[in-house]
């Protein structure tokens, strides 16, 4: 197998799992790029293999790798009895540092382990012991400032932080901000090493660590599964999707870097981190040799004024590329279609912007997930969680608890295959009748709850209505809800009939700030809000 690090390929010797029967477990290949700023020839684990970490549990195989002297033998023992032996290999392009890698057999959920590594170079031995490791589910949390947003900043933070000590089987790791012109092989700077939860390790200084959405997701997921959870936060506030996407994404989406950063995001001319793939290279690529369960993503706000119209291509392609790279980087241990959850961005209290369009593009213009372009994904809708009094700006709602609860519902359904409702209602069909009414039919698997009357707009025929029309476009008219049942909503199209026309399109919650707190027009009876949509009226 050719590894995701490019043309420099290292082929490891046979990886041998030694037990009483002395049987061979498997043979694999491993490709590597020279480690970033690694020059000393010494035995070491890669930077993120540390005491207290969580490794991915069964049915996946955790991958463990590190550095050594070329030609040396490395023996990795898991709980003493399971030993994996391999040789340290190096490509001729960087002869001063070798790489070793093993893939261990799947470990049960909740099992504990110490992992010992012994490096034997012609009888000269080096020994490392990693302590207090757990096997559970590992999630990477990424995105911009709403994912950076820390636990010290959320509603009820004091009580939330007091509870952290009750979750010793959740472990935390935070990558420091960095960008690079080339893919890096290991994390160059760690902001928070693998830590056991406490008020100090979860509630660091504002905008530092730990990510509130990431922590709360892990906490609520642990409450459901009762197994260890490993959380890896790799984030950067104020970033568009482009620097997080691997280079191959732009071959598909045909997009080039744009050095003209919107003024709101220009940090004293410090602009390099916005370039295509720069943060992928430094903050995500180094992680793709670590076996994971899935990814959480909270980003989109910065693209409202930067490559807005290509988001519907770049974001879905980024998901596909991350999956491919992680699958190859972990020697097929991470699922090739691992679950990917994201937050549909919330409100913006201003008179201009493109949040409505970005929300739509986050779903590849389907309005819902999973969909044919975004399989095995789940979405937490956040349009009904405005926080106009937030000291961190209204775009940063302090109610990260509801965001996390909605993400966990999606994860339980998509990643853990529970039969349950995990999203809000989405229309199946829109029909206009001769009474100038539009019947909006929803699926039968969830019941509607109509809360307010102000989120539906219609556009009449022959008006050339476009998905890019702003929320205050004169082509669109707010129209009232006339009635509803458990599975239908009827809205008026009389405005079009006044001009001897019929309604051609309907859009829902198509505003920067669609509604007051938890007061959008449509929910289901479980409290999940309906996502925005832009749909044709299919029959007249």
Q: What number is the average pLDDT over the span 307-330? A: 96
Higher pLDDT, 30 or 530: 530
Average pLDDT over residues 189-211: 92
- Whole-angstrom Cα distance, residue 380 to residue 529? 9
- Sign of the alpha-carbon torsion through 467, 472, 475, 481: positive
Read off the pLDDT band of 32 (50, 70, 90).
Answer: very low
Query: For residue 421, is it within any domain?
Result: no
Mean pLDDT of 446-453: 93
Residue 111: pLDDT band by 50, 70, 90 thresholds? very high
| The pLDDT of residue 30 is above 50 | no
Residues 44 and 171 in one domain: no
Whether residue 433 is found in the same domain as residue 496: yes
pTM score over 0.85? yes
* Residue 36 in this model has a pLDDT that exceeds 70: no
In a domain, 419, yes or no: no
pLDDT beyond 60 at 3: no
Which CATH number characterizes residue 36's domain? 2.60.40.10
The residue out of 131, 146, 163 marking a domain boundary is: 131
The pLDDT of residue 24 is 24
At residue 207, the pLDDT reads: 87
* Spatial contact of 103 and 333, defined as CB atoms under 8 Å apart: yes
Q: What is the mean pLDDT of residues 496-515?
A: 89
Give the residue from 103, 131, 159 where a domain finishes. Answer: 131
In a domain, 4, yes or no: no
pLDDT band at 29 (very low <50, low <70, confident <90, very high): very low
Pair 282, 262 in one domain: yes
Do 157 and 14 fall into the same domain? no
Phi and psi angles of residue 195, each rounded to the nearest 5 degrees, phi first: -130, 150
Domain boundary among 414, 445, 465: 414
Residue 274 pLDDT more than 90? no
Same domain? For 406 and 435 the reply is no
Asked if residue 422 belongs to a domain, the reply is no
119 is a domain residue: yes
- State the pLDDT confidence band at 188, using cuts at 50, 70 and 90: confident
41 and 84 together in one domain: yes
Antiparallel, parallel or unpaired: β 229-235 and 170-175: parallel
364 plus 502 within the same structural domain = no
Q: Is the distance from CB of 210 to CB of 149 less than 8 angstroms?
A: no
Q: How far apart are CA 347 and CA 146, in angstroms?
A: 12
73's enclosing H/E stretch is strand 73-78
Q: Are residues 274 and 312 in the same domain?
A: yes
Task: Specify whether 365 is located in the same domain as 383.
Answer: yes
- Rounded Cα distance, 138 and 302, in Å: 27
Tally the residues of the chain. 540
Question: Are the CB atoms for 58 and 67 separated by under 8 Å?
Answer: no
| pLDDT exceeds 90 at position 395 | no
Residue 378 in any domain: the answer is yes
- In the chain, the percentage of residues whose pLDDT exceeds 90 is 75
Tell me the mean pLDDT in the region 474-481: 94
pLDDT of residue 221: 98
Residue 39 has pLDDT above 80, yes or no: no
Q: Residue 480: is its pLDDT beyond 60?
A: yes
Average pLDDT score, the chain:
88
Task: Indicate the helix (H) or strand (E) that contains 77.
Answer: strand 73-78
Q: Rounded CA gap, 232 and 224, in Å?
A: 20
User: Does residue 18 register a pLDDT over 60?
Assistant: no
Tell me whether residue 3 is in a domain. no
Beta strand pairing call for 112-121 and 124-143? antiparallel
Residues spanned by the domain of 446: 427-536
> Tokens in use for 190?
């760690």
Task: Provide the pLDDT for residue 27.
Answer: 24
Domain CATH number, residue 259:
3.40.50.1110
* Tally of CA atoms within 13 A in the half-sphere of 25 that contains its CB: 19
Co-location of 291 and 201 in the same domain: yes
- pLDDT tens column, 115-147: 999 999 999 999 999 999 999 999 999 999 999
Question: Average pLDDT in the 267-276 region?
Answer: 70
Give whole-number Cα distances, 262 to 305, 330, 501, in Å. Answer: 7, 37, 40
Regarding whether 125 and 27 lie in a shared domain, the answer is yes
Query: What is residue 270's predicted lDDT score, i.e. its pLDDT?
Result: 54
How many domains are there within the chain?
3
Does residue 371 fall inside a structural domain? yes
- Spell out a b/e string for 1-33, using b for 16 or more CB atoms within 10 Å of the CB, else e: eebbbeebebebeebbbbeeeeeebeebebbbb
- Mean pLDDT value of segment 417-425: 95
* Domain shared by 407 and 454, yes or no: no
């Amino acid at each position: 197998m050719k590894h995701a690090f490019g043309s420099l390929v290292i082929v490891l010797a046979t990886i041998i799992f030694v037990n009483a029967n002395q049987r061979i477990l498997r043979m694999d290949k491993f490709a590597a790029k020279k480690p970033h700023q690694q020059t000393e020839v010494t035995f070491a684990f890669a930077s993120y293999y540390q005491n207290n970490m969580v490794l991915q549990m069964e049915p996946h195989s955790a991958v463990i790798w590190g550095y050594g002297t070329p030609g040396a033998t490395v023996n990795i023992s898991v709980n003493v009895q399971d030993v994996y032996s391999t040789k340290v290999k190096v490509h001729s392009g960087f002869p001063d540092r070798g790489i070793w890698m093993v893939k261990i057999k799947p470990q049960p959920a909740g099992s504990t382990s110490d992992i010992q590594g012994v490096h034997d170079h012609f009888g000269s031995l080096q020994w490392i012991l990693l302590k207090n490791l757990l096997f559970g589910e590992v999630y990477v949390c990424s995105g911009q400032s709403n994912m950076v947003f820390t636990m010290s900043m959320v509603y009820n933070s004091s009580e939330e932080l007091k509870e952290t000590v009750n979750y010793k089987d959740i472990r935390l790791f935070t990558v420091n901000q960095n960008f690079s012109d080339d893919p890096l092989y290991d994390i160059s700077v760690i902001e928070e090493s693998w830590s056991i939860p406490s008020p100090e390790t979860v509630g660091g200084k504002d905008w530092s660590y730990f990510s509130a959405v990431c922590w709360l997701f892990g906490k609520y997921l642990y409450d459901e599964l009762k197994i260890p959870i490993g959380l890896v936060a790799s984030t950067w506030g104020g970033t568009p999707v482009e620097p997080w996407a691997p280079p191959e994404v732009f071959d598909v989406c045909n997009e080039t870097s744009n050095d003209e950063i919107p003024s709101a995001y220009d940090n004293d001319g410090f602009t390099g981190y916005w370039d295509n793939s720069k943060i992928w290279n430094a903050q995500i690529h180094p992680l793709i040799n670590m076996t994971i369960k899935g990814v959480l993503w909270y980003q989109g706000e910065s693209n409202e004024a930067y490559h807005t119209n290509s988001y519907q291509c770049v974001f879905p392609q980024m998901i596909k590329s991350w999956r491919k790279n992680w699958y190859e980087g972990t020697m097929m241990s991470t699922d090739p279609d691992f679950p990917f959850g994201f937050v549909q961005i919330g409100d913006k209290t201003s008179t201009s912007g493109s949040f409505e369009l970005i929300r739509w593009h986050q779903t590849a213009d389907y309005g819902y997930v999973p969909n044919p372009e975004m399989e095995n994904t789940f979405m937490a809708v956040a349009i009904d969680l405005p926080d106009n009094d937030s000291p961190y700006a209204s775009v940063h709602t302090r109610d990260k608890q509801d965001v996390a609860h909605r993400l966990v519902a999606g994860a339980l359904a998509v990643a853990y295959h529970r039969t349950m409702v995990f999203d809000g209602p989405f229309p199946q069909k829109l029909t206009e009748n001769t009474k100038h009414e539009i019947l909006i039919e929803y699926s039968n698997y969830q019941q509607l709850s109509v809360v307010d009357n102000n989120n539906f707009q219609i556009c009449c025929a022959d008006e050339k209505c476009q998905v890019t029309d702003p929320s205050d476009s004169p082509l669109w008219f707010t129209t009232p809800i006339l009635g509803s049942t458990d599975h239908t909503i009827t809205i008026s199209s009389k405005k079009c009939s006044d001009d001897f026309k019929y309604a051609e399109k309907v859009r829902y919650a198509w505003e920067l700030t669609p509604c007051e707190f938890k007061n959008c027009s449509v929910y289901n009876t479980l409290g999940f809000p309906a996502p925005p949509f832009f749909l044709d009226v299919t029959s007249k």
